[in-house]
């Protein structure tokens, strides 16, 4: 399932996939795969992404 909430939060911060990847210490491909729903990130990576985007785990990763 695509993570549109992550993509929207990233775009709202005016960050490219590469920018976010650099902030959290992964490759751009990893961010792209998370957004596309093809990669299940570790909890530590989820937390790093949330901190970089000023969001909570619920806001970005909880499925409704």
Its pTM stands at 0.93
Predicted confidence (pLDDT) per residue in 12-52, tens digit: 999 999 999 999 999 999 999 999 999 999 999 999 999 99
Q: Are 11 and 39 in contact (CB under 8 A)?
A: no
| CATH number of this structure's domain 4-59 | 1.10.260.40
User: Which pLDDT value is given to residue 48?
Assistant: 98
* Residue (of 48, 17, 19, 15) closest to 33 by Cα position: 17
Please classify residue 45 by burial: count the beta carbons closer than 10 Å to its beta carbon, then call 0-12 exposed, 13-18 middle and 19+ buried. Answer: middle
């Amino acid at each position: 399932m695509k993570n549109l909430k992550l993509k929207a939060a990233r775009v709202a911060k005016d960050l490219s996939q590469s920018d976010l990847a650099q902030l959290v210490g992964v490759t751009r491909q990893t961010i792209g795969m998370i957004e596309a729903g093809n990669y299940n990130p570790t909890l530590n990576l989820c937390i790093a992404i949330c901190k970089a985007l000023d969001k909570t785990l619920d806001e970005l990763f909880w499925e409704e």
